[in-house]
Amino acid sequence: MLALTMTAPALAMDPQPYAVVGDTIPLSLTGGRGDPAKGRSIVATRTQGLCLLCHSGPIPEERLQGTLAPNLAGAGSRSTEGQLRLRIVDASRVNPDTIMPPYYRTDGLERVSKSFAGKPILTAEEIEDVVAYLLTLREAP
Amino acid sequence: MSRQGLVALACLWIAGLAGLVSWGGQAAEIPLQDRQSGYQLMTPETRAMQDDDAANPGMLWVLDGEALWQRKDGRANLSCADCHGDARQSMKGVAARYPAVDPGLQKPVDLEQRIEMCRTEKQQAPPLRAEGKDLLALAAYVARQSKGMPIAVVEDDHTRPFISAGREIYERRQGQLNLSCANCHDDNSGKRLAGSPIPQAHPTGYPLYRLEWQTLGSLQRRLRNCLVGMRAEPYAPGAPEYAELELYLMWRARGMPMEAPGVRP
């Protein structure tokens, strides 16, 4: 009982292994489907998803959007589910020079602040939610 | 040195518009002729606030600094003016060539650190609180004497190793977001991070009044904000990395006019 409650948060935090096939991660990180509504809220929340720091997207209530990266509108028709998953998990596997942060990688990072050290930016569940949301974005801007 | 009030302020990185579209490409250093101060990206209202001494909140610190300059202090019972005379003469152009490599310490010290050295060694007074009102006031008063003068940090045998060390930090990716300073300030300056236009990070205006802080702050405080935004561990207060970064940034801005006390959003 004690062991379970102790390890559960650690499990949720540590990135779990996943298999990259070509430019995709074909299988869900959780084994289940994400929730697009939760994914939208993660993308829209600047301190959680951080996406709108760099990207713009079809989220009209967030007035302050970025111009460092493509508009997310249409992301779900430009890429497959597996491509989107790898893009979020570790964009440097898609483009080694990318400025897009690796959302599910904790190794190879330098001087991470103490409050974030050893933690991925998003959990496996959150990434599945974001992927599910991006897949709903079919229309280009 | 204890830096207070710096904590979760972070680059809030706010406000919105559209820019150009080119993702990814790693730009090189900004060519000298293409450099621009963060002032250029500000709204006309914020520029006017900086330009008008009567509206620039930083001038309150300058006035305090002028009074402190005259005040005798420490076991030596000397004022800054007792040794340096009229700051309008003796301090003209000084801030424009800081950080400078101190011959004794053989490492760069920034303006605030140099003032602290005079305070503890020459006045024999206890150090002022880092980022505190008095130190910022003296720094603002000294820096004001260089207003409009070109930044004059030069690369020579003394500064070269520290400029390189600063550049190395500037170009290194760090933090949970895995970003370097150059990723934003060289490769993406002029674009908008959330709503905020990304400046080229020229330290022309420090210490400056930041509307988000609602107070005057040092360049170290600004750098700390960006490190927090990158989710990187800020360097310890007074750590050599700050002076190296500051020296690199001032060298990178060489020839640009000093604006202190500046105003920024």
Domains of chain A by residue range = 19-136
Q: Could you tell me if A112 lies within 8 Å of chain B, comparing CB atoms? A: yes
Q: Which of A89, A93, A112 to mutate: most B Cβ within 10 Å? A: A112
Model confidence at A64: pLDDT above 60 = yes
pLDDT digits (tens, 9 = 90+) for B18-74: 333 455 556 678 999 999 999 999 999 999 999 999 999 999 999 999 999 999 999
Going by C-alpha positions, the residue among B179, B219, B213, B178 that lies closest to residue B201 is: B219
Nearest alpha carbon to residue B193 among A22, A121, A132, A65: A65
The whole-number pLDDT of residue B223 equals 98
CATH classification of B38-43+152-264 is 1.50.10.10, yes or no? no
- Does the CB of B231 have a partner CB in chain A at under 8 Å? yes
Question: What pLDDT, on a 0 to 100 scale, did the predictor assign at position B184?
Answer: 98
Give the ipTM. 0.91
Which residue from A66, A112, A113 is facing B193, i.e. has the nearest CB?
A66
B89: closest CA of chain A, how far (Å): 43
Would an 8 Å CB–CB cutoff place B236 in contact with chain A? no
Whether A101 sits inside 8 A of B173 (CB atoms) is: no
Has residue B11 got a pLDDT over 70? no
| Residue A111 to residue B176, Cβ atoms within 8 A | no
pLDDT value at position B19? 34
Q: Name the DSSP class of B5.
A: S
* Closest approach of A136 to chain B, Cα-based (Å): 23
Q: Which residue of B has its CA nearest to A104?
A: B176
Contacts A98 to B, Cβ<8 Å: 24
Query: Which of these CATH numbers, 1.10.486.10, 1.10.10.10, 3.40.50.720, 1.10.760.10, describes A19-136?
Result: 1.10.760.10
- At residue B23, the pLDDT reads 58
% of chain A surpassing 90 pLDDT: 87
pLDDT for residue B218:
98
Q: In Å, how far is A1's CA from the nearest CA of chain B?
A: 33
Q: Is A47 on the interface with B (CB under 8 A)?
A: no
Tell me the shortest Cα–Cα distance from B139 to chain A, in angstroms: 29
pLDDT at A141 (0 to 100): 87
Q: Which residues of B touch A68 (CB under 8 A)?
A: 23, 188, 191-193
* Binary contact (A70, B21; C-beta < 8 A): yes
Contact (CB<8Å) A95/B24: yes
- The pLDDT, as a whole number, for residue B142 is 98
Size of the A and B interface in Cβ pairs below 8 Å: 89
Q: What is the mean pLDDT of residues A17-41?
A: 97
Tell me the pLDDT of chain A averaged across its residues. 92
Which residue type does B161 have? P
When pLDDT is cut at 50, 70 and 90, the band that residue B231 belongs to is: very high
Q: What is the mean pLDDT of residues B146-152?
A: 98
Cβ-defined contact of B191 to A112 (cutoff 8 Å): no
Angle between helix axes B240-252 and B219-229 (nearest 10 degrees) is 100
Q: What is the pLDDT of residue B28?
A: 74
Helix (H) or strand (E) holding B137: helix B133-144
Give the model confidence (pLDDT) of B79-125 as tens digits.
999 999 999 999 999 999 999 999 999 999 999 999 999 999 999 99
What's the length of chain B? 265
- pLDDT band for A10, please (50, 70, 90 cuts): very low
Please give the pLDDT value at position A137. 98
Domain with CATH 1.10.760.10 in chain B: 38-43+152-264, 58-144
Given a cut of 60, is residue B6 above it in pLDDT? no
**CATH topology classification for B58-144:** Cytochrome Bc1 Complex; Chain D, domain 2 (1.10.760)
- The reply to whether A31 touches chain B by the CB within 8 Å rule is no
**Burial status of residue A11 (CB atoms within 10 A of its CB: 0-12, 13-18, 19 or more):** exposed
